[in-house]
Amino acid sequence: MPTEEPSDETVVETAAEAAEGVIFSRYKQSAVRDFDVTVSFEEGVLEVDVYLNAPDDERDPEQVADDAALAARQAVDDLFEDASE
């Protein structure tokens, strides 16, 4: 029996947590100068924007930000998949 779809708040929180998880799995928190994860979920449309200001000595911050946004989207996809089972 399918469960209820997740609330908009749950979707946003899940996406934001996943994005932050990627950022802090790649950088020490003290190395991150600034970051912002903006997530909106309206009328079934998910928008994720990740800004990251971190050193680019070992990693490309733009790539990490892109990876974080992708992880956020995947986490939301997984959330809805789990809800439909």
pLDDT in tens, 6-54: 999 999 999 999 999 999 999 999 999 999 999 999 999 999 999 999 9
User: Residue 2: inside a domain, yes or no?
Assistant: no
User: Residue 43: inside a domain, yes or no?
Assistant: yes
User: Residue 62: inside a domain, yes or no?
Assistant: yes
User: Residue 61: inside a domain, yes or no?
Assistant: yes
What pLDDT, on the 0 to 100 scale, is given for residue 84? 86
Contact 22, 67 (CB under 8 A): yes
Q: What is the rounded distance in angstroms from the CA atom of residue 30 to the CA atom of residue 4? A: 39
User: Residue 45: inside a domain, yes or no?
Assistant: yes
What is the 8-class DSSP label of residue 40?
E
State the total domains in the chain: 1
What pLDDT, on the 0 to 100 scale, is given for residue 3? 67
Which H or E run includes 46?
strand 45-53
Contact 37, 50 (CB under 8 A): yes
Query: Mean per-residue pLDDT for 51-66?
Result: 93
Domain range spanning residue 18? 8-84
CATH of the domain at 62: 3.30.300.100
User: Residue 3: inside a domain, yes or no?
Assistant: no
What is the 8-class DSSP label of residue 37?
E
User: Residue 78: inside a domain, yes or no?
Assistant: yes
